[in-house]
Structure 1
Amino acid sequence: MEQYEPDRLSPPQLAAMRRSLTSGRGALTRRSLLRATGAGALAVGSLATLSACGIPAAKREGGAPASDDHSASEKEINFSNWTEYMDVSDDEKHRPTLEAFTRRTGIRVKYTEDINDNVEFFGKIKPQLAAGQDTGRDLMILTDWLAARLINFGWAQKLDATRLPHAYANLADQFRSPDWDPGRAYTYPWTGIPTVIAYNTKATGGRKVDSVTQLLDDPALKGRVGFLSEMRDSIGMTLLDMGKAPEKVTDADYDAAIGRLQKGVDKKQIRRFTGNDYISDLDKGDLAACVAWGGDITQLQSDNPHVKYAIPAAGYMTSTDNMLIPAKARHQANAERLMDYYYELPVAAKLAAYINYVCPVEGVRAELTKIDPKLAANTLILPDSEMAAKSHAFRSLSSKEETAYEAKFAKLIGA
């Protein structure tokens, strides 16, 4: 990827930004409850089915039964990922890191961008997983809550740590042991997704916005505030502002956060709940301030100097998208080799430089600096120790809690 000057983006970066505004990872992936498409009702209904159809609600010890691994005789990997989540060449005809992996190992990667939404994708693979069949995929990238579901259902392959030396050594501390996969026995993060507060200084009159309290109570922002249509992000940021820990959220805490946001809706402080379509409104100043995803803000700041972000003193939410090998995968050893490859420092830097989300690989700063010093200094990509200490993750929810919480949130946002 070409380096860019502060006031100029390279052609591929401009193209990537345009795609993020209209399609790809930005526009398509985080709309599980977006009311404009009616996806909220679909998401809640789909989540309810997770505990139906004979699917067990409790975790199976030991994960999925070992599959017959054909890695030695079949030098291939079938890899499913989200759109705009892999580095591409300037002419967009090549995927440099994947092609370098194949040249080194002789393993061909069939790479498919067929994940647009966690719930939708789960609907594609659930019939095969429930029937104990191969999904046709060896590696997939799933957001933490869905990865947790597959692990709990016994539909994920336990990883062979001996084939993951770089991943084990280089995984950043803040991602090492989530409550849904202690010790990373089944998954490794592809990227972290920080949820922050973003604001447009042109729309705020130069004022900084750095708390949910400001978003919900500042009369100067009335009607120009946005929250996200992802439950864990909007509720989590609200809980933190209330002095509550999302890692330990109770039903009472959750209801209090819903009530607080409902007041913001009722008094028309909140303009709307959005997926990534907040980007254009924030860019234009129609939204003065909002809850936002870090990767989007990194891209926006390259083109609009008025867009800023803040990490609230109360903390911020982080989720992860994760590499997971599904049950009955034919090429587990090959997939693990690819997983480990993306934890090599030069490779991790190339990926981070393209996708602009939090890199979960410790020690990558020097390599990223070689590509672009500005990106290496961006704490939305490489959090410093102070920022990492403020990171919080929403606790794992049972199927019953998931359905109840999402239903309440869908009602709040009008989905």
Structure 2
Amino acid sequence: MADLGVSRRSLLRGSGAVGALAALTGCGVPAAYVKPGERAGRDRSAQDRSLVFANWPLYIDTDDHNPSKRPTLDTFEKRSGITVKYTEEINDNDEFFGKISPALMNHQETGRDLIVISDWMAARFVRLGWVEEMDRARQPNVARYLDPQLRSPAFDKGRKQSVPWQSGITGIAYNRRKVGHEIKHLSDLWAPDLRGKVTLLSGLDEAFALLMQGNGADITRWTAKDFDTMCDQVEKLVRTKQIRRFTGNDYIKDLSTGDVLACQAYSGDVIQLQADSPDIEFVVPEEGGELWAESMMIPNLARHKTNAEKLIDYYYEPAVAAKLAAWVNYVCPVPAAREVLASSKDKELADLADDPLIFPDDTMRKRLAIARDITSAERVEYAKRWNRIVGL
């Protein structure tokens, strides 16, 4: 299993941008929306056995001895006869949006057949009509094995236009030895003994749901009042210096060095940290944690839609999903992959099957929820307030 160092998820840089992005998605520019009948292009899959797959860095299995080789992807190419041009060009949701939005809003090809973006950004693509609906008849594995808890997010009911690549949990990470007691509730972060030793995520979309859950809000249907209450609370915590700062992926270093004792964190990061820092624990608060996904989507006018659908379905074979999960260490969207790992003769792999941060157990699942997205109408105002708090 590879040591990722910095996790893929923590490369994210929030949704703070409210410039050109907000102008496009928040102000309802009519030209940006693409009608259903104008989204499909001529599918060349039968004649051209290839596809272009754009993903994030460090988000697919590689050969330990030859990082240029990607075992699961190589196997797909051999089995299907389809050549995959795999690029790691997505480093930031907003940045990638800016890269391909001119083509999409002008009804032009993007040059990509498959992309992976965070669900809050995927929601914008769906609202703008920028992605094609998939043919589930060509994807029996997706239909059979997709995690029921991820099957129907608010932005894409029935998952017709998106399929999770990997999933994860936003919760609390803390150093149990240095804190000296268990942390079970989000409110435990506000205890006097942790003053100046707590960090929160800087990105609005990454941070808001867990903070609302700590206040008892139902994040599947949160309201403006829930948002304002959360912001009022965080503003006070900033003034009293309870919160040390707001972070991106650098919370990993702060937590491992002891500069921070507890923080808002991603489940996948903690699995990586625990290898060298066994005192670090990840907690889904009693009030709940946010379950999120980063999903595969087929952009409008894709030249190889059928080939892309085949690749998506391939990664939902439990054996393939197990190999990917063992490498990336995020929540696997294919629960059936757990049995594959459990039967492994490799103890390290078999142990992953019992890790609730990769395969959440029933107790943990009861506390997980998928937040409704921030709508276009809400985004500009909410991002401005959050950015003032964070200091962006």
Q: TM-score, length-normalised on structure 2?
A: 0.95
In structure 2, do the counterparts of structure 1 residues 304 and 414 end up closer, same or farther at CA, with 3 Å as the change threshold? same
CA-to-aligned-CA distance 1:287-308 (integer Å, 9 cap, x gap)? 1101100000010011111101
Residues 64 and 158, structure 1, Cα contact 8 Å, conserved in 2: no
Task: Tell me what 2:172 maps to.
Answer: 197
Shift in Å, 1:88: 0.2
Q: Which residue is equivalent to 1:231?
A: 204
Q: Which amino acid aligns with 2:136?
A: A
1:384 corresponds in structure 2 to 361
Paired position in structure 2 for 1:323 = 296
Structure 1 residues 269, 333: closer, same or farther in 2, change over 3 A?
Answer: same
1:25 counterpart residue number: 8
Q: 2:324: which partner in 1? A: 351
Count of residues in correspondence between the two structures: 387
Pair 101,85 (structure 1): closer, same or farther in 2 beyond 3 Å = same
Match of 1:182, SS state, is coil
Aligned runs of 1:84-99 on 2, under 5 Å? 84-91=58-65, 92-99=67-74
Structure 2 distance, partners of 1:281, 1:328, is: 44
Show the counterpart of 2:47.
Answer: 73
Q: Do the aligned partners of residues 209 and 64 (structure 1) sit closer, same or farther apart at CA in structure 2, a change above 3 Å counting?
A: farther
Q: Does 1:103 align with 2:78?
A: yes
What's 2:87 paired with?
Answer: 112
Map of 1:373 onto structure 2: 350
Give the distance between the partners of 2:45 and 2:120, measured in 1 at CA.
29
Shift in Å at residue 63 of structure 1? 7.2
Report the residue type matching 2:303 in the other structure.
R
Residues 34-183 of structure 1 mapped to structure 2, 5 A cutoff: 40=16, 43-51=17-25, 55-56=29-30, 62=36, 65-91=39-65, 92-183=67-158
Q: In the alignment, what sits opposite 1:283?
A: 256
Shift of 1:376: 1.3
In the superposition, relative to structure 1, how do residues 136 and 59 fare at CA in structure 2: closer, same or farther (>3 Å)? closer
Assess if the C-alpha contact under 8 Å between 2:40 and 2:302 holds in 1: no
Deviation for aligned residue 1:391: 1.0
The question of 1:408 aligning with 2:390 is answered no
Give the AA of the match of 1:391.
L
Displacement, 1:127?
Answer: 0.6
In structure 1, the partner of 2:286 is 313
Equivalent residues in 2 for 1:287-306 (5 A)? 287-306=260-279
* Corresponding residue for residue 375 of structure 2: 398
Deviation of 1:397 (Å): 2.6
SS in 2 for 1:299: helix
Separation (CA, whole Å) in 2 of partners of 1:409 and 1:348: 37
Please identify, of 102-111 and 244-253, the stretch whose mean Cα deviation from structure 2 is larger: 244-253
* Displacement after TM superposition at 1:278 (Å): 0.2
Q: Distance in 1 between matches of 2:215 and 2:26?
A: 35
Cα distance in 1 for partners of 2:184, 2:314 equals: 38
Q: Matches of 2:76 and 2:32 in 1, distance apart?
A: 37
Q: Is the contact made by 2:25 and 2:124 (CA closer than 8 Å) also made in structure 1?
A: no
How much does 1:103 deviate? 0.3
- For the residue of structure 1 that corresponds to 2:253, the secondary structure is helix
Tell me the equivalent position of 2:241. 268
What secondary structure sits across from 2:381 in the alignment? helix
Instruction: Check whether the contact 2:146–2:316 (CA below 8 A) recurs between aligned residues.
Output: yes
1:332-358: per-residue Cα shift (whole Å, max 9, x none)?
A: 000000000000001000101111111
Shift of 1:310: 1.2
Tell me the secondary structure at the aligned position of residue 82 of structure 1: coil
Q: SS of the counterpart of 2:158?
A: helix
The AA in structure 2 aligned to 1:65 is: R
Which residue does the alignment assign to 1:5?
A: none
**In 2, Cα distance between equivalents of 1:142 and 1:198:** 24
Q: Share of identical aligned residues, percent?
A: 43
User: In structure 2, how many angstroms separate the alpha carbons of the residues matched to 1:330 and 1:308?
Assistant: 45
Q: Tell me, yes or no, if the aligned pair for 1:63 and 1:151 is still in contact at 8 Å.
A: no
The one-letter code of the counterpart of 2:8 is: R
TM-aligned CA deviation for residue 329 of structure 1: 0.3
Quote the Cα distance in structure 1 between the aligned partners of 2:302 and 2:330. Answer: 28
1:240-279 pair list within 5 angstroms: 240-279=213-252
Residues 356-401 of structure 1, C-alpha deviation per residue, up to 9 Å, x if partnerless? 1110112111112325022111111111122112111221232121
Whether the 8 Å contact between 1:357 and 1:380 is mirrored in structure 2 is yes
User: What is aligned with 2:313?
Assistant: 340
Q: Tell me the CA shift for residue 120 of structure 1.
A: 0.2
Question: Which residue of the partner structure matches residue 337 of structure 2?
Answer: 364
Structure 2 residues not aligned, in runs of 5+ = none
Note the aligned Cα RMSD (angstroms): 1.8
Q: Distance in 1 between matches of 2:56 and 2:217?
A: 32
SS in structure 1 at match of 2:48: coil
Flag structure 1 segments of 5+ consecutive residues without an equivalent.
2-11, 34-39
